[in-house]
Chains A and B, each alone.
Chain A
């Protein structure tokens, strides 16, 4: 049986030579590909064919990569399992009764199963790192502003970044080298990364590296996950790194802050899918607001409706100060906690996911439980920081991911530290 890793399988050839010549790449289906349909995992965009390439797609082609298809994903990136896709769930290649994680589940599954050498995912609250951890591959969420978002269909602009998924740290870093750098079509990009050589940092040298472990990130994790996590840290210690516990009380509020901000931004971003400017119209006539509401009822799945409604609620008169403004305070608090931690340590470590991969269908009925699984990944997006998930052993035959978080534009540091985990 197929893993259902791709929504659309089609080959786009790149230029004849370049650093990715001969490499096949799966591209998440919320990244625009000229002439190749881009659905965001939604029935709303089932027939949408972008008239232009995203900047990262241009860069892939210029680097000689061959794009082999558009990878399955949670609808508009809203999910932690790839089960909210309108095109059916992707299976985890390690254990096909389990989810691959999400929302970039198709990208991670394709790489883990060898259906693509490399993949691009997007990470708004863990959507690259979670599936990388669940499928036993490497994923990097870059610093906000390192990679252009031009041509990425927006879900929550202030949080999301495009990043690489690969079998090894060095391969992931090499793909990041191709896509990183400023772009005048995305005003939030920075000069960092223009002439990067992150791949060269994958030298496995962690002599003298200091690792901070926030107790808040480890408490409550599954026992087998926790055991694999500490074993990985002991291994790094044996290679010359040292670790110490740090405290980051703000992260206890990170899930609530993240979801308020992401849902609020989503409620605004997804207003364009009204069946006239974008998306399926359904052919309804009459009052425009009613025609739009019916087209949106047909086109969106439950999780997308839930987030649009909750975001609308959080921004509505009387609730804005209670939810949105407080979430922004919490975001500033999380940033402050990370700043303080990085005064004493080089990287911050945690299990990427507090639990092993869910069984297919297990988490669909209880959205709040699904949101809580993002506890260790969302603080990174709130603080605009870079983080990598690298395989760190197993529990009951299922992959466990180690997350290493760096300071702003500290991609080399997390690549170096993660490469030592592979030793």
Chain B
């Protein structure tokens, strides 16, 4: 069992943060599964401090104009468009 308690309210809260609606059955199922999975993740507490050899450096270049998608191509998969824009849900 995880030392991190997971109950249905916690699952609902995370689902809201992630913008994913769940039905009640899914909430119950996920609460039980998350307790198992997060309990397993607790093994990470035993990982020692490791010197990370950070060989990463930022690679910079000036902006340059290149060929890209046309506006029409970029919008070709949008559910709804208007005047060349993505159209979102109606607010009221």
Q: A-side interface residues toward B, CB under 8 Å?
A: 47-49, 51-52, 187, 250, 252-253, 255-257, 259-260, 267, 271, 274-278, 280-281, 283-294, 296-297, 300, 302, 305-306, 308-310, 312-314, 316, 319, 322-323, 326-330, 332-333, 336, 367-368, 371
Give bound CA distance, A284 to B21, whole Å.
13
Give bound CA distance, A305 to B11, whole Å.
11
* Interface: B44 (CB within 8 A): yes
Taking CB atoms, residues of chain A closer than 8 Å to B41 are 256, 259-260, 314, 323
Contact B44 A305 (CB under 8 A): no
Contact B77 A312 (CB under 8 A): no
Assuming the A-B contacts A281-B80, A309-B30, are A276 and B88 also in contact, with contact meaning beta carbons closer than 8 angstroms in the complex? yes
| Interface range on chain B (Cβ under 8 Å from partner) | 35 or more
Interface bits B6-17 vs A (CB < 8 Å: 1, else 0): 000001001111
Within 8 A of A (CB), among B46-91: 46-53, 59, 69, 73-74, 76-80, 86-91
Give bound CA distance, A354 to B30, whole Å.
27
Assuming the A-B contacts A51-B73, A288-B91, A326-B44, are A296 and B19 also in contact, with contact meaning beta carbons closer than 8 angstroms in the complex? yes
Taking CB atoms, residues of chain A closer than 8 Å to B36 are 368
Contact A51 B52 (CB under 8 A): no
Contact of A253 among B33, B43, B86 (CB under 8 A): B43
Contact B11 A309 (CB under 8 A): yes
Number of A-B residue pairs having CB atoms within 8 Å of each other in the complex: 142
Contact B89 A288 (CB under 8 A): yes
Give bound CA distance, A336 to B91, whole Å.
53
Q: B-side interface residues toward A, CB under 8 Å?
A: 4, 11, 14-23, 26, 30, 33-34, 36-38, 40-41, 43-53, 59, 69, 73-74, 76-80, 86-92
Taking CB atoms, residues of chain A closer than 8 Å to B77 are 47-49, 51, 278
Assuming the A-B contacts A276-B78, A291-B89, A367-B33, are A329 and B45 also in contact, with contact meaning beta carbons closer than 8 angstroms in the complex? no
Q: A153 CB to closest chain B CB, in angstroms?
A: 12
Contact B18 A286 (CB under 8 A): no
Give bound CA distance, A28 to B24, whole Å.
34
